[in-house]
Amino acid sequence: MAAGWLLVFSLTLFQSLVMNHSSEGPFPSATTIKSWVDKMQEDLVTLARTASGVDQLAAIYLKNRDLYTVEANNPRQLVEIAARDIEKLLSNRSKALVVSINGSSFLFSIKKIFIIETCFYCYFCCLYTYRQCQPDVYRT
């Protein structure tokens, strides 16, 4: 909350400085504007650090450093393990989905789920969007 007030104060101060200088005389010099920009940048960095809590997180880590270990990992291996676990979970279950399209009911047999970008697609999702995916479709 204090960080928000700091930003409002900084912007108000900047606006009042610009308004006062522009009404009294010529446009401020480049060095004056640069000092304003530097001050605003400093205030914004302070605001971001305060609002995100990164300083508090660092302090907590340093206080409890002996309780944590930081180890390198292999991202590819982590993804492979997760994919293998998901595949195992799905292979142990057989599911079906009944969907009504234009008054006709279809039974979709879900055989495999795969990940494209950040969305999960099943074979039945591909029926009308991707022609290369051909799920088992049965009329009910």
State pLDDT tens for residues 39-51.
999 999 999 888 8
Structure confidence by residue, pLDDT tens digits, 84-133: 888 877 766 555 555 555 655 555 555 544 444 333 444 444 443 333 44
Q: What is the mean pLDDT of residues 54-83?
A: 88
Contact 140, 100 (CB under 8 A): no
> What are the structure tokens assigned to 80, written together?
């492979």
Give the global pTM. 0.31
Q: Where are the beta strands (DSSP E) in 42-132?
A: 95-101, 104-110, 113-116, 119-122
